Chain A
Amino acid sequence: MSETEGTYSVKLPVFEGPLDLLLHLIRENKVDIYDIPIALITRQYLEYIEMMKELDLEIAGDFLVMAATLIHIKSRMLLPVEETTDTMEEMDPRFELVQKLLAYQAFKDAALGLKEREEDWSGVLKRTPVEEGAEASEEQELQLFDINLFDLIGVFKELLEKTPAEVLTVTRETLTMKDKMSMILETLQGTEALRFEELFKGDFLRSHLLVTFVALLEILRLGLARAYQEKDFGTVWIIRPEEQPEAEQAA
């Protein structure tokens, strides 16, 4: 339980609600919950509310309703007991309040049990299954976002950094961008979607990577394929446009 500390001369525990405060008073006075000395508890309860007022703390309406209830019970306790009533409930004006306090206490105990479990479990992690290529993308609805040129370049840069710099430069370029474009389009024909990295599977030289990348950009520009990304920093997919390839090709 937290306490207001420091500048105040009185230490005032903060209670969530009136039941909380009552349970605290019962505990502090070491009295039997089934036989609450209602005069004593009511006095201390009202003192607490006074303190809250003095400290300028906002007093929730619930606290005031309970104050009224306590005073009502206290006054009923002063009345002579009618022998005609047959049940405990009717005889003891405190009965209803006690039942409420007991029920509330039971849930407070249960909350402590949950707290312990939370302590044990809050750092437990589960495996995140690895997406298995295009099949997975069909089964689960992937959230795909259009990727912009800068993101695409960023992804390519990462790929480039993983490739060792060439020691020997092979100058005779055998593969033109056009060749590469048709190769990519051919690969795309056979599948719904292609991982960005898969495009570069056959490229071991940085210069080849570059040709492939430029070819891809050209394909995207012509609208022959689209690039999407799963979330931020997720896998980039190259996807054949479904319906309108004809129209776009013509354009």
Chain B
Amino acid sequence: MEESQKKSVLEMFLFLSGEPLTLKELKSATGLEDTEITDLMDELIADYSEREGGVLIGKIAGGYQMYTNPALAEWALKFRGAVKPQKLSMPALETLAIIAYRQPITKVEVEEIRGVNSDGVVKTLLDRRLVKMVGKKEAPGKPMLYGTTREFLEYFGLKDLTGLPTLKDLEREEAA
């Protein structure tokens, strides 16, 4: 591949793929070195973001992906004839946050933090595939452990779990 084509080829692969493309996939498809790919991808991400067009490139769910500009969501949805997915309720978001930061975690542990029964919310999150069962805890009764999914990362546009905003230090200013 000629030097001048490299960036364009990477861009093209992103266009063709609907799914996030991992570094490994890009490497096997292009034969380029890791660092070369990451550098070129960084350039592409910057190019697209500077242009502020209808399409952006970002790191989502462990790979690189092309997606519609969030600022133009209304129009993207209109074109697809789609409606915005129903927003999550505050209890659901709270529960999801607890699972995301403390995974793997059992439902009882979630309930201890929330101080309230969480059967319904956990089910909603399972139904929407934002969380999944990831195993069983070595404890009496072998309770189910829950963790977040790839769909969770995609739903919130996160690269990986480190992309979550850091949990505020438990220190809190006076409740004023």
Q: Point out residues on A near B: beta carbons under 8 Å.
A: 16-20, 23, 26-27, 30-34, 60, 62, 66, 99-100, 102-115, 117-118, 120-129
Listed stretches B38-46, B69-77, B132-140; interface member? B69-77
In the bound assembly, the distance between CA atoms of A190 and B156 in angstroms comes to 47
16 contacts between A and B (CB under 8 A): A16-B90, A16-B91, A20-B116, A30-B175, A33-B172, A100-B115, A106-B167, A107-B101, A107-B167, A110-B167, A111-B93, A115-B93, A118-B156, A123-B77, A124-B68, A127-B66
Contact A107 B116 (CB under 8 A): no
The answer to the question of B48 belonging to the interface, with a C-beta cut-off of 8 Å to chain A, is no
B171 cross-chain contacts in A, Cβ below 8 A? 102
B155 cross-chain contacts in A, Cβ below 8 A? 118, 121-122
Return A233 CB to nearest CB of chain B, in Å.
13
The answer to the question of B106 belonging to the interface, with a C-beta cut-off of 8 Å to chain A, is no
B80 cross-chain contacts in A, Cβ below 8 A? 125
Contact A124 B73 (CB under 8 A): yes
Known interface pairs A33-B174, A118-B88; A126-B168 also in contact (CB < 8 Å): no
Return B15 CB to nearest CB of chain A, in Å.
7
In the bound assembly, the distance between CA atoms of A111 and B174 in angstroms comes to 20
In the bound assembly, the distance between CA atoms of A85 and B24 in angstroms comes to 58
In the bound assembly, the distance between CA atoms of A111 and B15 in angstroms comes to 33
Closest 7 interchain pairs by CB?
A123-B73, A17-B116, A111-B93, A19-B115, A110-B97, A121-B157, A111-B94
Task: Please give me the residue from chain A that is nearest to B152 by CB atom.
Answer: A114
Interchain Cβ contacts within 8 Å, total number: 138
In the bound assembly, the distance between CA atoms of A30 and B170 in angstroms comes to 19
In the bound assembly, the distance between CA atoms of A106 and B77 in angstroms comes to 34
The answer to the question of B114 belonging to the interface, with a C-beta cut-off of 8 Å to chain A, is yes
Known interface pairs A16-B90, A125-B80; A113-B113 also in contact (CB < 8 Å): no
The answer to the question of B84 belonging to the interface, with a C-beta cut-off of 8 Å to chain A, is yes
Task: Please give me the residue from chain A that is nearest to B73 by CB atom.
Answer: A123
Return A211 CB to nearest CB of chain B, in Å.
36
Contact B97 A111 (CB under 8 A): yes
In the bound assembly, the distance between CA atoms of A113 and B88 in angstroms comes to 13
Task: Please give me the residue from chain A that is nearest to B99 by CB atom.
Answer: A107
- B77: which of A26, A32, A125 is its contact (CB, 8 Å)? A125
In the bound assembly, the distance between CA atoms of A16 and B116 in angstroms comes to 8
